[in-house]
Amino acid sequence: MLQVYLVRHGETEWNAARRIQGQSDSPLTAKGLFQARQVAERVRKEGITHVITSDLGRTRHTAQIIADACGCEVIEEPRLRELHMGVLEERILDGLTEQEEVWRKQMVDGSPKGRIPEGETMTELATRMRAALDSCLELPAGSKPLLVSHGIALGSLISTILGLPAYAERRLRLRNCSLSRVDHQESAWLASGWIVETAGDISHLDQPALDELQR
């Protein structure tokens, strides 16, 4: 059985300011750095062999803190990037026009063909996220990788493992530096392949964490 840990990056300046990030970037806040150290301590004794991260700054910084604690090198994987949110990237959530808010909601409300202009669909996101996860099957026997990615990206991955369409209504909360785990296994009582062991665990954090742009 292959166990793969999934971590969302720590809180960023734009998370705190309710600014849409997508594939744009902003630095971790002091709280985000503390969250990263807390999740690093949580997984330090799990025998992590590979820390694989989205190549965006907020995930790379989070991943480096985890890798230092686990004695691993950081491997960049662009397929783990956040959903590209097109023309809405870098915008303040509360300043969106009525039409822009319609575009944004289509990414979370189950619209099958929802796409922000110049951005990705949820299906495109889930396809590349699943490919990144599947590539872990090529790691040497006995590996225990940890992937550092983003809220919408990880939510789409976990949801599709559960059998939901990529564009299904979002009902999975993944806060900053939450920890999830998916396993690839064969079982008499579970579907073969990837299964979800845990999702969105924040028991290692001692302060409330943000959920996307919520406080």
Among residues 82, 89, 120, 212, which one is catalytic? 82
Does the annotation place 83 within a ligand binding site?
A: yes
Does the annotation place 15 within a ligand binding site?
A: yes
What's the rounded Cα separation, in Å, for the pair 35 and 209? Answer: 8
DSSP notation for 47-72 = T--EEEE-SSHHHHHHHHHHHHHHT-
Does the annotation place 185 within a ligand binding site?
A: no
Annotated catalytic residue 204 = no
Does the annotation place 189 within a ligand binding site?
A: no
Among residues 9, 50, 61, 150, which one is catalytic? 9
Does the annotation place 13 within a ligand binding site?
A: yes
Helices (H), 82-121: 98-105
Does the annotation place 82 within a ligand binding site?
A: yes
List 76's β-bridge partners, or say none: 53
Does the annotation place 120 within a ligand binding site?
A: no
Does the annotation place 32 within a ligand binding site?
A: no
What's the rounded Cα separation, in Å, for the pair 82 and 151? Answer: 7
Annotated catalytic residue 82 = yes
List 181's β-bridge partners, or say none: 5, 198
Does the annotation place 14 within a ligand binding site?
A: yes
Q: What share of the chain is helix, strand, coil (3-state, %, to 5)?
A: 35, 20, 45
**Residues taking part in catalysis:** 9, 82
Q: Which residue ranges make up the annotated binding site?
A: 8-15, 21-22, 58, 60, 82-85, 151-152
Q: Which residue ranges make up the annotated binding site for substrate?
A: 8-15, 21-22, 58, 60, 82-85, 151-152
